[in-house]
Structure 1
Amino acid sequence: MQNIVDFIKKTFNTTEFISLHEPRFIGNEKKYLNESIDSTFVSSVGKFVDEFEKKIAEFTGAKYAVATTNGTSALHISLLLAGVERDDEVITQPLTFIATCNAISYTGATSVFVDVDLDTMGLSPKSLKEFLSENCEIVDERCKNKISGKTIKACVPMHTFGHPCRIDEIKEICDAWHIALVEDAAESLGSYYKERHTGTFGLLGAISFNGNKIITSGGGGCIITNDETLAKKAKHITTTAKIPHRWEYSHDMIGYNYRLPNINAALLVAQLEQLEVFLQNKRVLADEYREFFKNQHVEFATEPDDSRSNYWLNAIILKDRGQRDEFLEISNNNGVMTRPIWTLMNRLEMFKESLCGDLTNATYLEDRVVNIPSSVRV
């Protein structure tokens, strides 16, 4: 285990503490921040918000983008726009960051967990199909869960650590079962499946720009979609559902104060200018890790077939929980930040009563996966 720590220190060319994933501000960030400040438009209206939405849509290939305060709010609004209501159910994966399930809970719906694939660490189409076939039926063009009697309104796969899941197969299954597909693309900006950007397969996709993501505004998120009506509604309800008027305050529905401030968007516009450089830099790091771990008898998580991953967070898969814990102890004691993959959502107190399919793969990965330093090296 110590030789892995030594290699990471050598790779990052430092004897100092090595973080898991640091932001890099090497472009026009300060210039654009000053422009935002000088304009006095620092809240949710300003040129940088508009520019960012235009540029992120162009980058992902989506027709529309709506900037939000964070990825969780983007996913929350996406679920509402997909028609998820109180007492509905939403299928997702147990191996995910808690924001996925929190957003589902904000709608009043309940999470249902199905297994992941070992190679993608994302929701398994095979497990999804088996769960639906065994437990559900279509009634009046709705997917009814025969166990709970509730409607399964949506499915939220997550592209884990930036590695795309088999999203085309998942979409085909969802379409057949009248389930809305909403992609949690929080971690996968710059990742492609069959040459198509993640987040653009579903009805809507949610992306995060948290401080540990490839590009960041400290927080921030966005909704991407190809549906003009949904995009307009997303912008409306994230802006407190205020009816446009020069001076009157009138609102026509329950809305949310979820719009990204212009001062944060200024950071993101500058960060987008560096995104291709960041992605290439991270791919070089992943290549170095892959070559090293070939000789260590340790599995390194690589992009799945038909995919191009952003390699947001690099991960290794150790032989068991004991070896995992040993490595976490040694690395963190030696100034190299590492962390285990998330505790499965169905083990958490808030979601322990949720329905689950067979979770063999998710349990296997929970015991073995560790993230290792993945920052852009400049």
Structure 2
Amino acid sequence: MNKVIPLSVPNLSLDILKNIKETIETGWVSTGGRFIKEFEEKTAKYVGVEKAVSCQSGTAGLHLALRVLGIGSGDEVVVPTVTFIAAVNPVRYVGAEPVFMDCDDTLNMDMDKLEEFLENECYYIDGKLMNKKTNKVIKAVIVVHVFGNPANIEKLMEIKEKYNLRVIEDATEAIGSYYLEGKYAERYCGTIGDIGVYSFNANKIITTGGGGMVVSNDKELLDKVAFLSVQAKTDPLYFIHDEVGYNYRMTNIQAAFGVDQIDRLEGFIETKIRNYKLYKEAIENIEGLTLLSFRSDTRANHWFYSVIVDKEKYGMDRDELLRKLNDNHIQTRPLWGLIHKQKPYMENQAYKIEKAYYYEKNLINVPCSSNLADEDVEIVVERLRIYKNRVVR
């Protein structure tokens, strides 16, 4: 049987065992314990903010972000259609509605179209941005740094100031990515908008099995995030709750993984960049395939690698290639189904979605784990060459 090459799996070290052993010996395996604070402090230091608040998942972090920014029933939030649905569902959790935006060639939100939409389809009055079509207030933008490739945050922040918007950075795929040039040079994804969220799901570049982290330069926002994440206990001793809160805290046993994983993050990124370059050099010589680039004015974490399939030049379409690779134990996947086409959101406004359809039809993600060996890359590339020559084995 052929070797199985997974798409994206955790890169774990047995060094973590001493942390796990401590959680068991002390009994601190749930939502209290020293590793939670240590992981929060390490994350804050790594991305260059004063404070970080851990939570149950990236999705929980986005939900909390919307809550503390005052987004609620009757409001609208601009979101990308090219993303995982977890970036959009929290908008509904708070009673608001999404407005969908197209992507550019980085797969991130098209900021030119966003600007065009706000200028032509909205009006600004008394400090509020109103959607002409729905007559609802647009309060925020959720920008996703897709596959770890930083979005055009400089333009988005200009738009934010012009229209009095709040910006939530969904950096769930982008911990470790930062800008090299411009106004936000040396700033990490997630630390520039009003609030940022990271994910530590098992397929992310570092993992705690589950879990997420919320960061901001506004300490009051983070204090409110922490408050809501523990069931909004106004008086923990006497169980007084003045608001509706959530059971959204990270566990100590998860954080015990995190304090080890974040120390290894830079090494993981180094490996991902090296493997990306191996793919890039090889795929450039296969007609009909293109490996999407990461922005040159950033240091992207290179979380996922994206290959575009040109059916006419390659000889088969994306879906056929997808099936053949998976049949040969090379785990690949298509781009997410566009969110504005999903059943819960088909009635929501979507503005000039064009480029997203091209990428939805022609993109595959190839294996990219941070423990992917050179020989694994060679196996994937060789299979891509075989299919190009239509000698299917």
Q: Same fold (TM over 0.5)?
A: yes
What range is the shorter-chain TM-score in? Answer: over 0.9
CA drift at 1:364: 1.2
Q: TM-score, normalised by structure 2?
A: 0.90
Using the TM superposition, give the Cα deviation of residue 291 of structure 1 relative to its aligned residue in structure 2, in angstroms.
0.6
Q: Work out which of the residue numbers 355, 363, 369 in structure 1 matches 2:349.
A: 355
Q: CA deviation at 1:244?
A: 4.4
Q: For 1:52-90, what per-residue CA distance to the aligned partner results, in whole angstroms no more than 9, with x for missing partners? A: 000001111122210000000001111111211112100
Letter in 2 for 1:338: T
- Report the equivalent of 2:207: 216
CA contact (8 A) 1:63 1:227 kept: no
Q: Could you list the structure 1 runs, at least 4 aligned residues long, displaced by more than 3 angstroms after superposition.
A: none
Q: 1:293 aligns with which of 280, 283, 289?
A: 283
Q: Say what the alpha-carbon RMSD is for the aligned residues.
A: 1.4
Cα deviation, 1:12-57, whole Å, max 9, x if unaligned, reads xx94111100101125211111111111111111100000000001
After TM superposition, list the pairs within 5 Å mapping 1:1-378 onto structure 2.
15-118=2-105, 120-194=106-180, 195-245=186-236, 247-297=237-287, 298-319=289-310, 323-377=317-371
Q: Is the 8 A contact 1:320 1:367 kept in 2?
A: no
| 1:27/1:271 contact within 8 Å kept | no
Q: Is the 8 A contact 2:235 2:241 kept in 1?
A: no
Any stretches of 5+ residues in structure 2 without a counterpart? Answer: 181-185, 374-393
The one-letter code sitting in structure 1 at the alignment partner of 2:240 is S
Distance apart, 1:375 and its partner CA: 0.7
- Structure 1 position 99, deviation (Å): 0.0
Query: Aligned equivalents of 2:79 and 2:50: distance in 1?
Result: 25
Match of 1:7 in 2: none
Q: Distance in 2 between matches of 1:270 and 1:28?
A: 8
> C-alpha distance in 1, partners of 2:254/2:71?
29
Which amino acid letter does the alignment assign opposite residue 71 of structure 1?
Answer: G
* Conservation of the 8 A alpha-carbon contact between 1:67 and 1:260: yes
Distance across 2 between alignment mates of 1:78 and 1:220 = 15
Secondary structure of the 1:41 match is: coil
- Structure 2 Cα separation of the partners of residues 147 and 139 of structure 1: 15
Alignment check: 8 A CA contact 1:168 1:201 kept: no
Q: Secondary structure at the match of 1:154?
A: strand
- 1:55 and 1:156 map into 2 onto residues whose CA distance is 25
Identify which range, 20-29 or 163-172, moves more after superposition. 20-29
Amino acid at match of 1:109: A
Count of equivalent residues: 363
CA contact under 8 A between 1:74 and 1:206: conserved in structure 2? yes
Offset at residue 243 of structure 1 (A): 2.3
Gaps of 5+ in 1: 1-13
